[in-house]
Amino acid sequence: LGLYQPYVKSDHRHGLGFMWESDAMGYLQTDGLVDTRFPGMAMLATAPVNDSDATAAEGFTSIKNYDFNDAANSTDYTFSWGPDLRKRTIAGVWSSEPGLGGDTLAGFGVVNYVLETTNYVHVCPNDARIVTLTKSTGAPAVSGVNANSTDYRWLIAHAGFIYAGKDGTSNIYRDSAESLSGLAGAVADDPNVILIGGDLPTIGAATFLGKLFVTRQDGLFQIGEDLIAHRMLDFSSSVSSTNFRSMAIFNNKLIFPIRDVLYSWNGSTLVDITPPLLSDSFPFSTYGRFDNFVATGRFLYFTARTNESTWEEHVIAWDGVGFHKIGEPVTNGTDTITGLGYDVTNNYLWYSIDATTDSTHFIQFQNLSEYPFANFSTSGTHSLISSRMHMGFRRVTKSTPSIIVDAQNVTAARYLVVWYNIGGAGWLEWGGTGNGRITANGTTTLTNPVSGGTNSTIEYNYIQIRIDFVSDSSAQTPVLEGWTLRFIMRPATLYGHSFQIIAASNLKVGAGGRDLKTVRTIYNNIETARASAAPITLVDPFGVSVTGYISSVERRAVERHGRREQEGFPNIESLIVVSFVQVG
């Protein structure tokens, strides 16, 4: 009896929700909201909250000690930008931040980027000059040296300067003043402008390994102290609008997408870290359109879209080895996640959705832990699904009598449910409806997998196990610690045969017949059968035919009859021992 035991391991290297390694086809996956980020357990993931702000934001940031025109109420805010600049109070109220005219309803319009410094919040309105908000007063002011200082795509602070990329160009300007009062916006106004050759605009920038890097659709460039752009990674052969659509520094590596391939770069070596297949059968489901990278704590969070016609977009966590889905914001094949950001003030992971009605949501984390915050779903189906398991022998039938499940924090109303799927025929609850539940803490053994069976077993070439998580309380989740599938190999039964053949001339057969073949002819016939590349048929004494091969022949001389030869050979009666192996 074998044990197939995909217990939880800390080495999450086999896929999405990838807590278990196996000799199997495909990868462990999740459906719904299941959190597999932590070794030794799987549980419900924190349910997202719709924060009632109908905005498809492209970015989020936490602003500390910002005074909204009222020094007595100086506080921390969450800012989002995209179609407008939006501000959220600690109390959870969103509003448009007033522009230069002071009209809260009018706001800024489309905003390309927001950068917080010690004393200011710099806002980059599309096709307009930077507006600098003074944090101590909330008062807005225009930044830049003149009317050419307009339309910046990104800002970044590096080595005593703030660098600014001009939207739609490869021109980069910089200013040492925190207020950006000296920031130029035209080549004629700045002798230190950084120009990158070619007609592709810059996309964004990052400080990595103490150096400043800038991205374009055709590659990654380092801005040296000589204010010259040096190409570090060349993707000019695969230029695409999806290249470098987002990036982040995680575990001292730069993570970014090129088309639908996800890369990790440590400053010298480029490694493909694209998530593996999501499905086991053709047409295979995969992830692409990687976007919205946010590194915080032990994980890199980003969004990814499936390649299905009705695609889904998920929120993914990467721990440096395996990928873990923690949210399914889009499942209809039409909406899009536009932005993702971590709010250090509230410990929220924000995201926005571009839909018929735009929306902004957050996933809350614990204040002192990265484990799921107690806001669990009490409806819907939330499952952990194994790979297609064949135990290393795809074509050998297995028989399973039971499964052992280790769980904690379960009750009669908060439980796990075990399902199995044989050969892709569909999911069946273990033992029938209501019998696959795990309601007791510790180790539970479920027997009789077939509904209504007694000492029943299931037979298969490959199998999948699904475990559903059901909770009666948003503050509680069942916890799966591991499971063990018991099985025994049951290959097709094939026999070996060993028998003796008497080789003698004029041998009496039956009541009166005689076999007139010579000994040498009998030898030749057996040798021909032994050498056959195709299987031959053996008919046993009971008339049963089996197909196979002669595997060995042993000859034993018994007696020579006379001195005359038959067909040029001596007449030596022999006993021939033949071994026959059945095939099927």
Cis amide leading into 283 (omega within 30): yes
CA dihedral 55, 61, 63, 69 (to 10 degrees): -20
**CA pair distance 353, 361, nearest whole angstrom:** 8
The pLDDT profile of the chain, 584 residues, written as one tens digit per residue, is 344 444 333 333 233 333 333 334 457 899 999 999 999 899 999 999 999 999 999 999 999 888 765 555 568 899 999 999 999 988 899 999 888 876 666 789 999 999 999 999 999 999 999 999 998 887 899 999 999 999 999 999 999 999 999 999 999 999 999 999 999 999 999 999 999 998 899 999 999 999 999 999 999 999 999 999 999 999 999 999 999 999 999 999 999 999 999 999 999 999 999 999 888 888 889 999 999 999 999 999 999 999 999 999 999 999 999 999 999 999 999 999 999 999 999 999 999 999 999 999 999 999 999 999 999 999 999 999 998 999 888 889 999 999 999 999 999 999 999 999 999 999 999 999 999 999 999 999 999 999 998 999 999 999 999 999 999 999 999 999 999 999 999 888 889 999 999 999 888 877 777 888 899 999 999 999 999 999 999 998 899 999 999 999 999 999 988 777 777 788 899 999 999 999 97
CB contact burial 341-377 (16+ within 10 A = b; e otherwise) = bbbeebbbbbbbbbbeebbbbbbbbeeeeeebbeebb
Give the Cβ contact number of residue 160 at 10 Å.
7
Residue 25 · residue 367 · CB < 8 Å: no
pLDDT of res. 450: 97
Cα dist from 99 to 90, 93, 471, whole Å = 21, 18, 47
Confidence at residue 73, expressed as pLDDT on a 0 to 100 scale: 55
Give the pLDDT score at 67: 75
Q: How many CB atoms lie within 10 A of CB 95?
A: 16
What local confidence, expressed as pLDDT, does residue 104 receive? 61
Query: What's the CA gap between 519 and 419, in Å, rounded?
Result: 64
CA pseudo-torsion sign 132, 137, 138, 142: negative
Cα separation, 500 vs 502, whole angstroms: 7
Q: Do residues 363 and 349 make contact, with C-beta atoms less than 8 angstroms apart?
A: yes
The runs of H, that is alpha helices, within 233-378 are: none
Instruction: Give me the pLDDT at residue 191, please.
Output: 94
**Residue 554: helix, strand or coil by DSSP?**
strand
What is the identity of the amino acid at 194?
I
As given in the structure block, the two tokens for residue 215 are 């991205």
Q: In the prediction, which pLDDT does 26 show?
A: 58
| Distances in whole angstroms, Cα of residue 487 to Cα of each of 394, 447, 461, 463 | 14, 12, 11, 11
The pTM of the full predicted model, rounded to 2 decimals, is: 0.86
Q: What confidence score (pLDDT) does residue 154 get?
A: 98
Which string of b and e fits 431-461 if b means at least 16 CB within 10 Å? beeebbbbeeeeebebbbbeeeeeeebbebe
**Predicted pLDDT of residue 72:** 53
